[in-house]
């Protein structure tokens, strides 16, 4: 098995694990994390613009790395394109969630449901990539 395929397999399992963690977190748990996040932001004197930039950079870089790994693993271009589009949607939702967090002390319950759907789709994406790579 080629090294890129092995790394991609690990990355897809990390995506599944992280998304599963997000899926299993309750609304109350998310609100508690938001509260703690905001406390830490105040303690470290972090500016909203810095927080937004770091979130955009982190989610963007991780998504690009994952998509590049898919490409290097030799997956069909259309698979790479679909996963890339899915990662763009996840980045947009992450940015929207962060904006919501910075302007209030909670996450809107409707948005919370959308993020759960996104987590399920990320789990299915990660599992599909893993199955394709193993097959």
Spatial CA neighbour of 130 closest among 19, 2, 20, 9 = 9
pLDDT of res. 1: 57
**pLDDT tens track for 14-60:** 999 999 999 999 999 988 888 888 888 889 988 888 999 999 999 99
> How far does CA 50 lie from the centroid of its chain?
19
Which tokens belong to 123?
């789990």
CA dist 16 → 31, 41, 89, 103 (Å): 23, 28, 16, 29
In the predicted model, is pLDDT for residue 122 greater than 90?
yes
Mean pLDDT of the chain: 93
pLDDT of res. 95: 93
In the predicted model, is pLDDT for residue 124 greater than 90?
yes
Which tokens belong to 39?
């406390």
**pLDDT tens track for 61-74:** 999 999 999 999 99
In the predicted model, is pLDDT for residue 103 greater than 90?
no
**pLDDT (average), residues 76-98:** 95
**pLDDT (average), residues 110-114:** 94
């Amino acid at each position: 098995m080629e090294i890129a395929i092995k790394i991609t397999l690990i990355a897809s399992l990390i995506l599944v694990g992280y998304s599963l963690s997000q899926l299993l977190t309750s609304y109350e748990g998310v609100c508690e994390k938001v509260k703690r996040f905001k406390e830490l932001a105040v303690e470290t004197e972090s500016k909203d613009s810095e927080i937004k930039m770091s979130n955009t950079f982190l989610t963007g870089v991780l998504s690009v790395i994952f998509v590049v790994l898919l490409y290097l693993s030799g997956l069909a271009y259309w698979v790479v394109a679909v996963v890339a589009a899915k990662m763009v949607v996840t980045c947009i939702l992450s940015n929207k969630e962060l904006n919501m967090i910075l302007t209030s002390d909670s996450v809107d319950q409707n948005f919370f449901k959308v993020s759960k759907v996104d987590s399920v789709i990320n789990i299915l994406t990660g599992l599909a990539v893993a199955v394709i790579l193993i097959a």
